[in-house]
């Protein structure tokens, strides 16, 4: 099964806002409210940033927000900071496997 | 505070079986409503769900790996394990164990607790 589609890289200057897209199909993002987003720094385990499309776990900065339109989900990082430089992965429940399907990842660079 | 720790051989020969264990501290795998999952990440690539175990005893496997995967649990030791048969170089990856997020007792399809990951290389 193919991964969800994310741009390979997104960049922005400190203080700016950036948005990462994640495109799926009717078997995942379009149908289920189970989109999540993860931040991964080099050689570290992923960290959950958003679940159920737009919910933030306790302790995650309000600068991170999620949304969805049709079969595309988005993660927006506002007030970009140097510490936000990392890889970001989207994920969605998929009826194809009844497991979570991940995106191919987006590298965020803070200029 | 629940923590997960993977353990197992870092090198496996082709055609042999990869075996990893995830030890849970600060909690129990037999209580509560959680999925306990295995996820892998080849170097420089994305994440792939291998499968999961539920505290009820049920398992779900990725169809692409189903014929080679077994996930089991030893609740007395607070461990769950992964076995992947007939490995090839394509199975070389960092392997993570992870727990699903549960909100008001309902499982969400998201992972809020991860182990640090263990690198497994398949090579002769």
Q: For B60, which of A52, A99, A104 is closest by C-beta distance? A: A99
Separation in Å, CA of A13 to nearest CA in chain B: 25
B17 within 8 A of B120, measured Cβ to Cβ? no
Separation in Å, CA of B12 to nearest CA in chain A: 21
Q: Which residues of B touch A36 (CB under 8 A)?
A: 108-111
- Portion of chain B with pLDDT greater than 70, in percent: 100
pLDDT of residue B93: 98
- CA–CA separation, B55 vs B75, rounded Å? 9
Given a cut of 90, whether residue B120 has pLDDT beyond it is yes
Instruction: Specify the 3-state DSSP secondary structure of A35.
Output: strand
Give residues with Cβ within 8 angstroms of A2, minimum separation 6: none
Contact across the interface for B48 and A102, Cβ inside 8 Å: yes
- CA–CA separation, A69 vs A30, rounded Å? 8
The number of C-beta contacts closer than 8 angstroms across A and B is 68
Given a cut of 90, whether residue A25 has pLDDT beyond it is yes
Q: Are strands B11-12 and B118-122 parallel, antiparallel or unpaired?
A: parallel
Tens-place pLDDT, residues B64-81? 999 999 999 998 999 999
Tens-place pLDDT, residues B14-29? 999 999 999 999 988 8
Q: Which two tokens stand for residue B5?
A: 């720790």
pLDDT of residue A2: 85
**Cα separations in angstroms, B10 against A88, A100, B7, B65, B78:** 26, 26, 9, 20, 22
Euclidean distance between the first and the last CA atom of chain B, given in angstroms as a whole number: 39
Hey, is the C-beta of B51 within 8 angstroms of any chain A C-beta?
yes
**Cα separations in angstroms, B91 against B12, B13, B28, B68, B121:** 10, 11, 29, 11, 8
Q: pLDDT higher for B57 or B14?
A: B14
Separation in Å, CA of A43 to nearest CA in chain B: 9
């Amino acid at each position: 099964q193919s991964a969800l589609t994310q741009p390979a890289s997104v960049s922005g200057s400190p203080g700016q806002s950036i948005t990462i897209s994640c495109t799926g199909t009717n078997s995942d993002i379009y149908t289920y409210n189970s989109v999540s987003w993860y931040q991964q720094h080099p050689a570290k385990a992923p960290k959950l940033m958003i679940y159920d499309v737009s919910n933030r776990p306790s302790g995650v900065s309000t600068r991170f927000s999620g949304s969805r339109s049709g079969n595309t989900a988005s993660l927006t990082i506002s007030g970009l900071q140097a510490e936000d430089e990392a890889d970001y992965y989207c994920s969605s429940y998929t009826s194809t496997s009844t497991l979570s399907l991940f995106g191919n990842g987006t590298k965020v660079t803070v200029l | 505070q629940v923590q997960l720790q993977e353990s197992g051989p870092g090198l496996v020969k082709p055609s042999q079986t990869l075996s990893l264990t995830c030890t849970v501290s600060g909690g129990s795998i037999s209580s509560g409503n959680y999925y306990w999952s295995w996820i892998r990440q080849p170097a420089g690539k994305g994440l792939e769900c291998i499968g999961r175990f539920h505290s009820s005893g049920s398992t779900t496997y990725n169809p692409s790996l189903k014929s080679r995967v077994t996930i089991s649990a030893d609740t007395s030791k607070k461990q769950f394990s992964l076995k992947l048969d007939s490995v090839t170089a394509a199975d070389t990856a960092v392997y993570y164990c992870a727990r699903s997020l549960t909100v008001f007792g309902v499982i969400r399809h998201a992972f809020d607790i991860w182990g640090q990951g263990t690198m497994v290389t398949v090579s002769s």
